Chain A
């Protein structure tokens, strides 16, 4: 039986709990595309989005509807005008009177943890500032499970490893699976030292490099993230750096037959579109997997574990 009420941060989860969610997602996957089910009929999901989002919002909505439930939502424009000045704590209490579960995206780090403390209904974190986005991590793990293998995994994380919250949660979760992790980034965007310490403390084999070529040969999974222009003092520096991490057909030269490429999306040009038709490209599949994973999470926090 799944005992977690809220989904706030990957740090709250044991490997067994993550495995349970992923198994649940697998069981629900057929209802994510071919036909729906009605196990959450009569339940209402409230979506509180204080920051814009497309994919996350649509996939939660899809997940709830595929399970036979209903959704109500407040999007960022309303949050910034109508509810101006209202404390998040109050909004959570009020919305908890309407809905059975709340999905929250908010610009302040820790906002979902605070909300969970004062909420009678389950809170699911859909991004708290630069903090966490646990369902993204869960869908990343699910993609690896379905398209590659979580056991004996050799994964390369590419791009902005300093600011990217997806990378930090993912790295933490992968450490629970004993993955071998390669970190590829320009020096100014390398992973924060406390995260690296945590990894080595948990006995994880970490390899750091600035060169993409160093990792392509051995990787089972290549996880690409976006490098943002804003992180660089000038455009030419950015272009030089970003260009050297771009994945194209040329990057495939020595890669494994069954290597997969993932990306949290949206991409700009860090993966050449010529890659899309290769068997390695799994980023659109990854986006789809967001639906069964969110179905799993919604059904579990609502006590529906059959």
Chain B
């Protein structure tokens, strides 16, 4: 086994690698793995990556991710890779892709925004990727979110 593997290998499942350090628990939250869950999961945090910086890794057995889960992960860990493991081997590796817009994924931080009322409207944000730190802009009130995005996930 490779040196990097700090936990036992999994036969089938998904490895989410190159997660921004500190975001592993938020990734688990996105996957709905909180409290009493019977998912077999391991998370390692702040491990040294080959690319000389630290990263978090999350490994989930017997599960592949849905597109909207991948979109959410992209928001908080734009450099993450999603590795599909079948029969102990990486059979597919994809970098997460930050979409240009997300629908129904983030709650607007503006309490006076129409998307936070009983009106029939689904939150919608455009994503500005031009800076190193991504910035979400509510298409309704135009308020932006760039810090602690995980706290605003629906």
Q: Taking beta carbons and an 8 Å cutoff, which residues of A are in contact with B?
A: 9, 11, 87-89, 107-111, 113-114, 117, 128-132, 194
Contact = CB atoms under 8 A, between A and B. Distances in A.
A282 to B, nearest CB: 29
Given A9-B142, A131-B141, A110 B118 contact: no
B87 to A, nearest CB: 47
Contact of A109 (B114, B118, B120, B144): B114
Contacts of A111: 114, 119, 140
Given A89-B119, A129-B112, A130-B112, A110 B144 contact: no
B115 A110 contact: yes
Interface of B is mostly: loop
Interface in B97-121: 108, 110, 112-115, 117-121
Given A9-B142, A109-B140, A114 B110 contact: no
Contacts of A108: 112-114, 117
A114 B140 contact: yes
A82 to B, nearest CB: 18
B4 to A, nearest CB: 39
Given A107-B112, A130-B112, A89 B120 contact: yes
A110 B111 CA distance: 11
Contacts of B47: none
Interface residues of B, number: 18
Given A111-B140, A129-B141, A131-B142, 8 more contacts: A87-B119, A89-B120, A109-B113, A109-B143, A113-B114, A114-B121, A114-B140, A131-B141
Interface string B53-65: 0000000000000
B34 interface: no
Nearest to A108: B114
A109 B119 contact: no
A87 B118 contact: yes
Contacts of A132: 142
22 contacts: A11-B142, A87-B120, A89-B120, A89-B121, A108-B113, A108-B114, A109-B114, A110-B138, A110-B141, A110-B142, A111-B119, A111-B140, A113-B139, A114-B114, A114-B115, A114-B119, A114-B121, A114-B140, A117-B121, A128-B114, A132-B142, A194-B144
B36 to A, nearest CB: 38
A110 B113 CA distance: 6
B138 to A, nearest CB: 7
Nearest to B139: A113
Contacts of B120: 87, 89
Contacts of B143: 109
Contacts of B114: 88, 108-111, 113-114, 128
